[in-house]
Structure 1
Amino acid sequence: MATYTPMIQQYLQVKADYQDAFLFFRLGDFYEMFFDDALKASVELEITLTSREGGGEERIPMCGVPYHSASQYIERLIEKGYKVAICEQTEDPKQAKGVVKREVVQLITPGAMMEGRGLSEKENNYIATFSIFDQESFGFGYSDLTTGESKVTLLEGDTELLLNEIALSGAKEIVISATTPESLQNKIRERFGGTLSFEEKEEISGSYQHLLNKLNDPKLSTTIARLFNYLYRTQNRSLDHLQIVAPYEIQQFMKIDYYSKRNLELTETIRSKGKKGSLLWLLDETKTAMGGRLLKQWIDRPLIQKKDIVRRQSLVEAFLTHYFERQEIREKLTEVYDLERLAGRVAFGNVNARDLIQLKRSLQQIPALKETISQLYHDEAERLAERLDPCEEIVDLLERAIVDTPPLSIKDGNLIRDGYHEELDKYRDASRNGKTWIAQLEKEEREKTGIKSLKVGYNRVFGYYIEVTRANLHLLKEGQYERKQTLTNAERFITPALKEKEALILQAEEKSVELEYDLFTEVREYVKEYIPRLQELAKTVSKIDVLQCFATVSEERHYVKPSFSNERVILLKDGRHPVVEKVMKAQEYVPNDCYMDREREILLITGPNMSGKSTYMRQVALMAILAQIGCFVPASEATLPIFDQVFTRIGAADDLISGQSTFMVEMLEANNAISNATENSLILFDEIGRGTSTYDGMALAQAIIEYIHDHIGAKTLFSTHYHELTILENELKQLKNVHVSAVEQNGKVVFLHKIKEGAADKSYGIHVAQLANLPSSLIERANEILHNFENQEAEEVEQPASTQLSLFEEPVVKEKPLLSSKEKRALERIKEIDILEMTPMHAMNTLYELHKALKNS
């Protein structure tokens, strides 16, 4: 340190506390970076790398960005997952003795940012945390700094349950203890790629003690305290907009694990990772950013309490049956800005005058919105209307104080209305009158001198002046003006009267700007007192927005209100996949019925590829989710049970990062379902067992079906190409075969996309290959090979029964036994095993061993 200059020493001292962040070190009009930060930032930001002498033997790498445009560079770094520490001068350079004092005033991170491109207006920007209490007990909490919302829960289970909650939160940053096992840290990085930050302090501070009032468990308090300690430590400013922490239990909502959420494409599609094509994309007819965020939260966590679901349905129905009132509500909502984030910016201190005008205009819509809601003549709607607080005091203040079209900057004046403050009006009058006097002076001096080009001008360096071109200098009398500045083609002068007026004008303008800033901060502090009321208003407006959204979609797409069965009955008439139906546009979507009751717990679905098996299964799950978030569903009639969980195994992809094959991923997801499902769950399994050999896959598929049938009893849709499994309908009384119909016309297959009772008779695989335009010679050869296989199979079936061996019957032989002694012992051992008493994975492994033994024999 001693070898460096005092300024570089100061930089290194600050940097020592922010090793995991880029340090933006303020030097004059630039934020500078040095050493490794400079080397890395020059690459990430594509800016010029330079160097400077730092007092040591070698030159120090250096790069920088202008402070007035720093935000765009900061946003680029945050989008890449980095952190940025803003180090400002906290001392007047004129009064500094030695190096100007500098301190980090804010740490900007992916999970702790208040503005910028990284914030999606219809998506929360969560920062999360968790605490480990033992191997199967965790505290998990998250907060959105932009809105002040915070939630926390206790999780009883393995780390997969914790990882699932992290995934559902979509957190951009996770705050943990340094003692968190490295294996768990690596899992989080691999799965989610979020930024990991560290905070050890779990003590509850007095500054936010009141935020924990609803928490009655010290585990919840210490979990969320870690997050609050991190936020207060890194932000260095008021966080008065943080709301009281809301505890929740995952059992209060339908459980949809990360894989099922992905497979069903609830909020983003699998391929593009974008919103378009997802259920959220279909439903989002919200008119406010707040409503858009709430809609996503409802989709992520559907309800399971019937009374809560019915209450939402009832409100949707009220909006649906009042078309004109709904249209008026939608128009008013269009004029409402993001009240949640505006309140956050007020507390954070980065709100500007234009933000306050947006707040005023939003609040001005509330009285009319309140009146229209009350015209729905519905008890629940009336209660919503009563909670619409117009905050007239804020509207009145902002109307009197802030001009309608203020500038972006709050430090350059022209923010405050005339008549709002007497002293400000005096300064303005002095400034305006002074400028009028100067205009009059220019006119008078032109007349006195006869110089028509004479002008009275102003610049910041020299102030006001009288300018005369060189060609006209001879027209001036000796000593008429006092010389001030000489230019190439002109001379500038001053007079005692102009100098006196200049002092009055500049003093008035300077004091005016200073006073305007002070008045603006007073207005901001006044609005700050209303943050709790604004946040409550935002919640009510958000709810109204989502409910009208459900009504709008339901009306436009001809959805019906579902009823709920206590007898676990699924009755869907003319059901459609909501997203596929919308994407098809003018094409006709083929609707399908679905009926399941206690005698039809499992539907075994067969049919060719591309015929619609996966679409059929998905539409049942999506209708269940739509129903339990309170929306209507795409059918002509709908009755559903209330599901506690939805599990899916649809499609497959290798997980290369963790070294898991397609088949392993499939087995893990299958195990997750059969280990956690209850009789009140919904399971969708698509082509289980296709990732391994035919006999292995078929054995696993059958064992899984039997296990679900005998041990779980969950409503299950199981699609398969193993037509041999359709015989299970004769053995499992609660399983029924259905198939997607197809017909052949002129040697080509036509998919009817219609679900019918019974099993499919063919798979039409070669026909699908033909539709994909594979070479005709290849198709002909495939048909030839298929014909040979079918003939061979028929010959094997026709063998005399006497040549068939019973599974465990030792054959009678004269010369050489068919089974070795080792194989005999294996079969004897298998006879003693009771598969139904095993865990699912143990049963699968045992069946695999049985298959190998039989294959060897």
Structure 2
Amino acid sequence: MALTPMMQQYLEIKKQAPDAILFFRLGDFYEMFFEDAIVGSRELEITLTGRDGGETERIPMCGVPYHAAENYISKLIDKGYKVAICEQVEDPKASKGIVRREIIRVVTPGTVIEGSLLPEKDNNYLVAVSEISPNHYGMAVSDLSTGLFQVAEMVGPGALDSLLDEIARLSPREFLSPATFPQQEKVADFLRLLPTTVLTVLSDDYFAFASAAQTLKEHFAATDISGCLANTALCTSAGCLLRYLLETQKRQLTHITEITTYSPQGFMILDSIARRNLEITKSLREGDKKGSLLWVLDHTKTAMGGRLLKSWLEQPLIDAAKIEERLDAVEELVNSLMLRQEMGEALKHVYDLERLTARAAYGTANGRDLLALLNSLNKLPGLYGLLRQTQSSMLKRIYGEFDTLEDLQALLTSALADNPPVSLRDGGLIREGFHPEIDQLRTAARDGKAWLAGLEAREKERTGIKSLKVGFNKVFGYYIEVTRANLNSVPDYYQRRQTLANAERFITPELKEYESLILGAEDRLVELEYNLFVEIRNKVAGEVSRIRRTADLVAQVDALLSLAEVAYRQGYSRPEICQDGIIQIKEGRHPVVELTLGAGGFVPNDTYLDNGSERLGLITGPNMGGKSTYQRQVALLVLMAQVGSFVPATAAKIGIVDRIFARVGASDDLTSGQSTFMVEMFETKQILDHATPRSLVIIDELGRGTSNLEGMAIAQAVIEFLHNKLGCRTLFSTHYHELAELEGLLPGLTNYATAVKEQGNEVAFLRKVVRAKASKSYGVHCAKLAGLPGEIIQRASQLVAQLEHHQQATREVVAGKGQVAAGVEEQLTIFNETKDELKEEILALDLANLTPLESLIYLDKLQKRLREQ
């Protein structure tokens, strides 16, 4: 059997979006058919039905109401699907045969623009990558909901790592890639760590230079993009991204007005490991904002300010002048309570200017969107007046560039109704007095309805029919309804319009005249209001560059105000920024833990690191003594200072850091089959490969996934490499307290320990970091605190005592202070026989150039030889 014409039309349209679920408009519903229906019913939890389509079996089918489609689309997008929206593009009344339909838009995870589907303080990034060579990449990133469009180039030996770090920072909802790129093992492993990112593989022609350049030239015809066009990496990635946007959105994207080029090297670099472990924007435990640094610092009043503050935390500055400029602005706001409060009040009523303007340019903004824009514009003159009072260079610059957009404010004030409806086809959009014809039509409709209001009473009196009613429906218009029992009393001038089971409906010449007047006025009024609204919306869209620039300035004020508010409330102090490599913190506190514990609950600590005699701090002490919190605290304070924030300390001097590495804890990576130990080794390799003398490294425990001997050997080898080869500022905490003996052997290493108070069998962790070395790990005590059964605690204590006694006896034997047991004597004899050979071999080793892994391999071979002997 042949498919019906409608099913044939469906399948032809489906070919245009094979990787998307097709929402096919039929009347008041979007229908899904075939495989799309099966997937849609499962994912949306709606009933799967069937439809006769010309085949022997019924075609699977399900549908959703068109007026509620946004909620269903949101669910599918959240699950990583794409949705192609197919609409009727001609009036069914005017068409002959089947109504023409077209896909008007493909909604993908990276192209969502609806504000209700997006977190207001998060960007919705779409990223495209082009690979020029194994060490040369281009990356383009956009946020369609705001009009952002940026490009960056990564080139050189570390290009791939730099690219992956940047993608980790952006955490895009969708990632566009050529087919070969995700096939690389390193890239595939990386993408598995981004579970919320949808990978879209595109054909090679998307990345062809000629077509990419043409796409960019056509869209940015009025903008100078010569720099992007002259760079193959930038051009191909940007052209691919723009083409994808144009093809999915099927309209001109007039709110994307410029391409911004940036370099990741212009900011502090934080790899995905450091971002995760430092909990900058997401907590490790829950994976959400609460419990992160952003949670502490974000007191922004606007969505734009929230997004900007988040980007500042993700991209700390390395330019001292720019850091000082932000710090000056924050200090001015900290010291001016009235200015801070008045600015906060002004910002409180500013809506998302970036996304409102984007929707206007996109053609989806409704009356309430423009009303929100107007309410925001009404607050700009007040904010501008407050900026006039400022003295710091950054706030003065913002004042100098600030555009209050008073012309747009005047247009919207005069044009928009006070409470416009959501729909653009319901009328009531335009303010009275804005357009004379609208006022005339409203008067005509109002007068006609006033006449209608009295018609029923007049006709009842004229005809004597007490049950007579005047009504209206969309099919027959206005009518007079008379029950069958009263038909004998109907006057001759009543003209029959409709027959019902128990009544007849009539019209009179006079009613017909008023019906034409009212309905004609209402139809014309709705059409005229719609057209005028679109004109006004287009005028707003024409000023998209001005509005976005003002939105960016408002966001900067909001972000600075948030940093100042937190600094004032929490008693933060201004850090001193320097280039001499010194990190000196007096009474520093962890910003998140401090807020969680409440006032007075956190024990502050001092820190001193430099690039010379105190470049590596070795921290020993019990597991629950606060080593990890202390290390992260130092890293976060450095990061905050370079963001331009005050820091939780009584004083701080921060020598600028180019990168922060944070290897803190570890767990099995089940997705790639890697053990805890291998995860540790991989993360350590990342540090050793990329750290520079200007970096800050924090390593919290190393070598736990193997034997004590090997673990300690690796930890020591890594310490020596960091100290001797890299010279970076490092805080290295370890449960191998024997490594404290390295102080004195390594001139730049300093011992620290977390203080412990022992009183009888009771142990108290003081959370204080002091210049000392620990002699115990207090593991049994930690097990007791965790609630392990008393029997286990007692037995563990006995075993510890036995092991300590054995170790002491062994040390005495080696030192010649005790009687040599037969077994020990035999081992020492074997060692003496081979000591000359071993001595020569060990002396021949080039230790300075041995990697930790090579050291471990040699140690393993040596151990095997001794066992064989």
Asked if Structure 1 and Structure 2 have the same fold, meaning a TM-score greater than 0.5 normalized by the shorter chain, the answer is: yes
Aligned partner of 1:302 in structure 2 is 316
Any idea what SS the aligned residue of 1:730 has?
A: coil
CA contact (8 A) 2:136 2:233 kept: no
Deviations 1:14-37 (Å, cap 9, x if unpaired)?
222322110111222221211111
Counterpart of 2:219 (choices 208, 211, 214) is: 208
What is the rounded CA distance, in whole Å, between the counterparts of 2:827 and 2:427 in structure 1? 110
What is the rounded CA distance, in whole Å, between the counterparts of 1:568 and 1:853 in structure 2? 45
What is the rounded CA distance, in whole Å, between the counterparts of 2:27 and 2:399 in structure 1? 53
CA contact (8 A) 1:75 1:116 kept: no
What is the rounded CA distance, in whole Å, between the counterparts of 1:662 and 1:152 in structure 2? 36
Counterpart of 2:495 (choices 474, 482, 488) is: 482
Deviations 1:471-492 (Å, cap 9, x if unpaired)?
5555x25525233334455433
Any idea what SS the aligned residue of 1:799 has?
A: helix
Aligned partner of 1:447 in structure 2 is 461
Aligned partner of 1:57 in structure 2 is 56
CA contact (8 A) 1:75 1:117 kept: no
- Please give the residue correspondences for 1:717-796 in structure 2 after superposition, counting only pairs within 5 Å: 717-796=731-810
Counterpart of 2:535 (choices 494, 509, 522) is: 522
Amino acid at match of 1:398: L
Any idea what SS the aligned residue of 1:368 has?
A: helix
CA deviation after TM superposition for structure 1 residue 784, in Å: 0.8
CA contact (8 A) 1:284 1:549 kept: yes
Counterpart of 2:605 (choices 584, 588, 592) is: 592
Distance 1:371 1:572, change over 3 A: same
Deviations 1:177-232 (Å, cap 9, x if unpaired)?
23435235643542213212234324222332345345352321221111001101
- Please give the residue correspondences for 1:844-855 in structure 2 after superposition, counting only pairs within 5 Å: 844-854=856-866
Aligned partner of 1:841 in structure 2 is 853
What is the rounded CA distance, in whole Å, between the counterparts of 1:241 and 1:672 in structure 2? 40
The alignment's TM-score, normalised by the length of structure 2, stands at: 0.94
Aligned partner of 1:547 in structure 2 is 560
Distance 1:815 1:295, change over 3 A: closer
- Tell me, yes or no, if structure 1 residue 44 matches structure 2 residue 49: no
| 388-397 or 113-122, which deviates more | 113-122
CA deviation after TM superposition for structure 1 residue 468, in Å: 3.3
Distance 1:564 1:852, change over 3 A: farther
- Please give the residue correspondences for 1:291-370 in structure 2 after superposition, counting only pairs within 5 Å: 291-370=305-384
What is the rounded CA distance, in whole Å, between the counterparts of 1:306 and 1:429 in structure 2? 66
What is the rounded CA distance, in whole Å, between the counterparts of 2:262 and 2:434 in structure 1? 47
Distance 1:719 1:853, change over 3 A: farther
CA deviation after TM superposition for structure 1 residue 844, in Å: 3.9
Counterpart of 2:577 (choices 546, 557, 564) is: 564
Aligned partner of 2:171 in structure 1 is 170
Counterpart of 1:468 (choices 482, 498, 511) is: 482
Aligned partner of 1:6 in structure 2 is 5
Distance 1:58 1:814, change over 3 A: closer
Distance 1:10 1:183, change over 3 A: farther
Distance 1:584 1:217, change over 3 A: same
Aligned partner of 1:578 in structure 2 is 591
CA deviation after TM superposition for structure 1 residue 834, in Å: 1.1
Aligned partner of 2:821 in structure 1 is none
Count, aligned residues: 848
Counterpart of 1:192 (choices 191, 194, 199) is: 194
CA contact (8 A) 1:370 1:386 kept: no
- Tell me, yes or no, if structure 1 residue 635 matches structure 2 residue 649: yes
CA deviation after TM superposition for structure 1 residue 839, in Å: 3.8
What is the rounded CA distance, in whole Å, between the counterparts of 1:825 and 1:49 in structure 2? 80
Any idea what SS the aligned residue of 1:551 has?
A: helix
Aligned partner of 1:414 in structure 2 is 428
CA contact (8 A) 1:322 1:376 kept: no
Aligned partner of 1:808 in structure 2 is none
Amino acid at match of 2:149: S
CA deviation after TM superposition for structure 1 residue 802, in Å: 6.0
Any idea what SS the aligned residue of 1:192 has?
A: coil
The Cα RMSD (Å) is: 2.3
Counterpart of 1:509 (choices 522, 525, 532) is: 522
Deviations 1:680-739 (Å, cap 9, x if unpaired)?
100001111111110000000000000111111111000011111000002001101010
What is the rounded CA distance, in whole Å, between the counterparts of 1:417 and 1:249 in structure 2? 48
What is the rounded CA distance, in whole Å, between the counterparts of 1:777 and 1:180 in structure 2? 56
What is the rounded CA distance, in whole Å, between the counterparts of 2:330 and 2:573 in structure 1? 11
- Tell me, yes or no, if structure 1 residue 231 matches structure 2 residue 233: no
Deviations 1:538-581 (Å, cap 9, x if unpaired)?
11000000001111000100001010233211211110000000
What is the rounded CA distance, in whole Å, between the counterparts of 1:706 and 1:325 in structure 2? 52
CA contact (8 A) 1:173 1:196 kept: yes
Deviations 1:378-437 (Å, cap 9, x if unpaired)?
343222112221111111111111101111101111111112112222221111111112
Aligned partner of 2:628 in structure 1 is 614
- Tell me, yes or no, if structure 1 residue 653 matches structure 2 residue 667: yes
CA contact (8 A) 1:671 1:840 kept: no
Deviations 1:247-291 (Å, cap 9, x if unpaired)?
111110001100011000000011211100000000001000000
- Tell me, yes or no, if structure 1 residue 89 matches structure 2 residue 100: no
Amino acid at match of 1:92: D
Distance 1:542 1:853, change over 3 A: farther
What is the rounded CA distance, in whole Å, between the counterparts of 1:138 and 1:803 in structure 2? 65
What is the rounded CA distance, in whole Å, between the counterparts of 1:169 and 1:603 in structure 2? 32
Distance 1:655 1:117, change over 3 A: farther
CA deviation after TM superposition for structure 1 residue 664, in Å: 0.6
Any idea what SS the aligned residue of 2:354 has?
A: helix
CA contact (8 A) 1:214 1:244 kept: no
| 834-843 or 630-639, which deviates more | 834-843
| 454-463 or 219-228, which deviates more | 454-463
CA deviation after TM superposition for structure 1 residue 818, in Å: 6.4
CA deviation after TM superposition for structure 1 residue 815, in Å: 14
- Please give the residue correspondences for 1:232-251 in structure 2 after superposition, counting only pairs within 5 Å: 232-251=246-265
The alignment's TM-score, normalised by the length of structure 1, stands at: 0.95
Amino acid at match of 2:44: L
* Unaligned residue ranges in structure 1 (runs of 5+): 805-810
CA deviation after TM superposition for structure 1 residue 10, in Å: 2.0
What is the rounded CA distance, in whole Å, between the counterparts of 2:574 and 2:153 in structure 1? 34
What is the rounded CA distance, in whole Å, between the counterparts of 1:812 and 1:550 in structure 2? 67
What is the rounded CA distance, in whole Å, between the counterparts of 1:726 and 1:374 in structure 2? 57
Q: Percent of pairs identical after alignment? A: 47
What is the rounded CA distance, in whole Å, between the counterparts of 2:514 and 2:850 in structure 1? 97
| 203-212 or 135-144, which deviates more | 203-212
